[in-house]
Structure 1
């Protein structure tokens, strides 16, 4: 069970009833529930449950696999999915039928709809003058504002719909107008939002969540609207930096940086999460929701399950990865890591400081068991699923042991015996293919969960280190320095909490970008950064597309069908 249970995530049925053949003596209606602050919090669950749903899967894919940060190729046909198109995300050749563009649009529309419903129902309860009612309604509006920001960032011109039950077609609102509406709505909530942090508000939107959202908007305002807002970005960052004179938020020290993202994380184990999404693999804690938080399923090489205590990481019947384990059976069971995802060498190159604790989020090169012994793999020298399918020696089918070795390059091979097929984004099905690419374990496999592949790791949306880097970047782009802080001092403050290497003596926009790559890896902000720094049209991996129209995704076909007033984005 997660260390903190926030909401009652049951069906939101205030005012609903159904004939069941027996007399109903009580029912939850807006007249009787909620009637106090705690009941308002409990009734606010559905928008948060909806937000939690697809953030760490579909949204992560859209924001990350479309950059040089990560790649998810097919390996022997595994993970080749033309309907969703991991390859399309990499190549930037997606279209309005792409599965991820559809699922993210639907997810964000669901968050917005669930919030509109909650606001509509809760707005009819209790007198409007009650401070806790104002605070809780403002909190929910910030959840809706986050969803609108994500949708605006992904899709550009989007429909605005804030009225529950209004099903009339909505036209695309120009992105600059969405920006202005969002800014106004966020600012309108500030007087009513809680200034509490820590356990009390963990996983809930407080005043500093609103300021963090404004800071993101202002930092990207020139791209979104054509007008730079860097001084406003600095002001929003300062509102967080000033919070409780540093009592509310602070940089996590180098000694516990990696643990900040572990499955045991939460409000008592870190000081940086301004707004985080709590995940729990247990359906008891979050009834009716899945959460889709299983990074390790994609990130771990498939032979690493036993080492990392991954659910299913015990001997079973799929492969035989570990030599000398005192277990019956011949390999990992079907819920082992499936291992398709890795980074690209161009991104890993940012991690060149050997004294930087952030290097510890990567698995590279030769792998070892927890006791320091080599992690050995049992296979054959050749064959379609052996070590090297192109091997033609007479002992190709003989038993072969090798120490697991993750290699940096991700490349297509020309020998068809390996199963590689560039047309299908396929690297091959032998061990050479499966071991291509360095793997990220920032959100460490959940060794606390013995039953399934969902993880207990809470995922930050807004984090204090990000705020400091945003302020530094805004100053470097022309904002007026404040509080005696310079762009250089802010970046050096982050670096001092991450590396024992000497402080920097100078700073450029490129060095800020590089630092953001190191600090914010795997946290869904890299696409946002690449666009702002003018790097999204570059070439990496197998991608050569340079069409600036692809800075935003197409409006999905399903959305166009449901709302005929929408128009497709340029270039699609």
Structure 2
């Protein structure tokens, strides 16, 4: 087949997985793709390898199954009219989800489509002569390993496929862990170091290897009563974390929330991320997902509002309260950043458009903001925008204040539009015309703070080196010093480290994996009492099992589903 034809096919995203096994090429007319240089062809092949990441990390896909399944996020049936979705978010939180869950299915399909495109690239890039193909080939093979790391973590298996015409083989447990180790190690020498967080780099592979070794005990024996963290695995975690830290290439951000700003692509804390910059049609929805439908973050766009999605559970909130009592949790700058001051006379408050920015972090209590009437924002006599107490006007409940409460659950009262403290971690893009598009912030897969935290955990698990672990955690805390940093901790243990990971990485899609590794996932929290250890991995979507039915015994459903 013409090598340039292959690149166009990859760029067009025509390679999909039916069920889970058929990585088929769809051939177009060669006449339409002549005239590309080998460099152009290589660019066209590598781009689709990354192109499924935004879909995987969409708020209703990977976020839903990594966060709403935990104690950090809960999404009730809002007001009895919104986010019902046939009960899938209630089931996810209560660990009663099934193999027909559409969010699980979509996540599976997008991951496997990314895997398919990576395999296409590893087969086609060697046919090109441009020097860049050596790096691109390493990236494609490394991304194949990354997508398989996701399937291992979520579904307990990896797919091994080198030849386009062959059927994938499936590995689980120790074999899967060893395969991924070898794949990451094989590509590391040929990766670049300075191409930015949106592409796979040496630093990203070191971080992913650390993450793999840290979780290897779980992946080897998924349903163990107690996981066995091998000393040699923990040594590897420390080794790869040391490589990243000593490289000097990355830097902890002084401003915690700057890590999640719309321009975060150049933030030196990011190691690996989903590139969502505007010129790449960034469209993540992380910023609008939790906000009230009556919170409007952009004066220029009166249709850009929140969706009254998930809140945090009281259980998670109380970890902050208990850590800092009698002080308020806002003494920790990771908890909250006040951009919009609480006005002493809200009815008469006036703010220039350039000065209006909504608050960030965990939002509690009465909310203030732009007041919309008949589709436009009210203005003061001086032309500035009027800011006042918010009410649920868009929900036709003008007497009910947007006053977020700690309590949130699946009762009628607990499912109201005002229940649950909300999270505004990623910055709401100034270019969003509807709130549901143009989220320009890169979605973080791996950042430097996690490297320090993983190294701390490995030292605790190997030799209970609490002093070294404490030093690593306090390095991260002290770095957040654009305002007063959180007070240094005086002791460290695995339970304290788990709590600290909750403070540092809330709503970053790490919580489920963390809870399993720390033995917390079968615990009890708001609206969740299920203690079934088989829920540590998700069901293989029924559509995939059915699609592989022509190969008896090939794709076995996970236990209990």
After superposition, what is the alpha-carbon deviation per residue over 1:315-356, rounded to whole angstroms, capped at 9, x for unaligned? xxxxxxxxxxxxxxxxxx5x6422121111111223344321
Asked if the contact 1:171/1:566 (under 8 Å) is kept, the reply is no
Identify the match of residue 486 of structure 1 among 440, 443, 468: 468
Tell me how far apart the structure 1 counterparts of residues 262 and 462 of structure 2 sit (CA, whole Å).
40
1:441 aligns with 2:424: yes
Residue 300 of structure 1 is matched in structure 2 by 291
Q: Structure 1 residue 450: deviation in Å? A: 2.9
1:261 deviation in Å?
0.5
Question: How many Å separate the matches in 2 of 1:445 and 1:25?
Answer: 40
User: CA separation in 1, counterparts of 2:399 and 2:456?
Assistant: 50
Q: What residue is the counterpart of 1:175 in the other structure?
A: 173
How much has 1:40 moved relative to structure 2? 3.1
How far apart, CA to CA, are the structure 2 residues paired with 1:156 and 1:15?
A: 30
CA distance in 1, matches of 2:487, 2:306: 38
1:213-224 aligned within 5 A: 213-224=208-219
Specify whether residues 239 and 310 from structure 1 end up closer, same or farther in structure 2 by C-alpha distance, changes over 3 A only. Answer: farther
Equivalent-residue separation in structure 2 for 1:466 and 1:523 (angstroms): 11
C-alpha separation in 2, matches of 1:519 and 1:112: 30
1:104 Cα offset (Å): 1.3
* Aligned-residue offset at 1:378: 6.6
Equivalent in the alignment of 1:77: 81
1:495 to 477, 488, 491: 477
The answer on 1:124 being equivalent to 2:127 is yes
> What is the CA-CA distance between 1:42 and the residue it aligns to?
4.8
Residues 78 and 373 of structure 1, relative CA distance in 2, 3 Å threshold: closer
Runs (5+) with no aligned partner, structure 1: 1-6, 315-332, 388-399, 414-419, 421-425
The 3-state SS of whatever aligns with 1:159 is strand
Q: Is the 8 A contact 1:50 1:114 kept in 2?
A: no
Matched with 2:335 is 359
Distance 1:239 1:514 in 2: 26
| Aligned-partner Cα distance in 1 for 2:513–2:396 | 40
Give the conservation status (yes or no) of the 8 Å contact 2:294–2:390.
Answer: no
Name the residue aligned to 2:258.
259
Distance 1:15 1:71 in 2: 41
Change (3 A) 1:409 1:25: closer
Q: Which runs of 5+ in 2 are unaligned?
A: 1-6, 15-24, 222-228, 322-328, 337-360, 371-384
CA distance in 2 between partners of 1:376 and 1:552 (Å): 41
CA shift, 1:376, in A, is 3.3
Q: Does 1:53 align with 2:37?
A: no
Residue in 2 that maps onto 1:395 = none
Alignment of structure 1 residues 77-476 onto 2, 5 Å: 77-82=81-86, 85-126=88-129, 130=131, 132-166=132-166, 168=167, 170=168, 172-196=170-194, 200-226=195-221, 228=230, 229-243=233-247, 246=248, 248-253=249-254, 256-267=255-266, 270-280=267-277, 285-286=280-281, 293-305=284-296, 308-309=297-298, 314=302, 333=303, 336-352=305-321, 353-360=329-336, 361-369=361-369, 374-377=388-391, 401=399, 403-413=401-411, 420=412, 427=414, 433-450=416-433, 453-454=436-437, 455-476=439-460
Q: Would the aligned equivalents of 1:12 and 1:43 in 2 still touch at CA under 8 Å?
A: no
TM-score (norm 1): 0.78
Decide whether the 8 Å contact of 1:281 with 1:452 is kept in 2.
Answer: no
How far did 1:570 drift?
Answer: 1.3
| C-alpha distance after superposition, 1:359-416 (max 9, x if no partner) | 1111111222378954232769xxxx665xxxxxxxxxxxx64653111101344xxx
Q: Alpha carbons of 1:550 and 1:192: their partners in 2 closer, same or farther (altered >3 Å)? A: same
1:501 CA drift (Å): 4.1
What SS class does the counterpart of residue 546 from structure 1 fall into?
A: coil
Distance 2:32 2:502 in 1: 59
TM-score normalised by length of structure 2? 0.79
Q: Counterpart of 2:29? A: 18
Q: CA deviation at 1:125?
A: 1.5
Structure 1 residues 216-265: Cα deviation after superposition (integer angstroms, max 9, x where no partner): 0111111112552111111111111111xx2x101101xx2212212232
Rate the CA distance shift 1:281–1:541 in 2: closer, same or farther, 3 A. farther
1:427-468 Cα shifts (integer Å, max 9, x gaps): 55xxxx100001100012222333662211111100000000
- Helix, strand or coil at the partner of 2:272: strand
| CA shift for structure 1 position 478 | 1.3
Number of corresponding residues:
480
Alpha carbons of 1:555 and 1:386: their partners in 2 closer, same or farther (altered >3 Å)? same
Asked whether the equivalents of residues 310 and 337 of structure 1 are also in contact (C-alpha less than 8 Å), the reply is: no
Q: Quick one: distance in 2 between partners of 1:43 and 1:176?
A: 32
C-alpha distance in 2 between matches for 1:148 and 1:235: 23
Distance apart, 1:107 and its partner CA: 1.0
Taking structure 1 as reference, are residues 485 and 523 closer, same or farther at Cα in structure 2, changes over 3 Å only?
same
**Larger helix percent:** 2
The 2-side partners of 1:412 and 1:121 are apart by 51
Q: Which residue of 1 aligns with 2:559?
A: 570
Residue 180 of structure 1, CA deviation: 0.6
Tell me, yes or no, if the aligned pair for 2:368 and 2:389 is still in contact at 8 Å. Answer: yes
SS at match of 2:69: coil
Query: d(CA) in 1 for partners of 2:434 and 2:524?
Result: 41
Alignment map for 1:523-562 (pairs within 5 Å)? 523-562=508-547
CA-CA distance at 1:151 after TM superposition? 0.6
Superposed CA RMSD in Å reads: 2.9
Mapped to 1, the partners of 2:95 and 2:472 lie a distance apart of 34
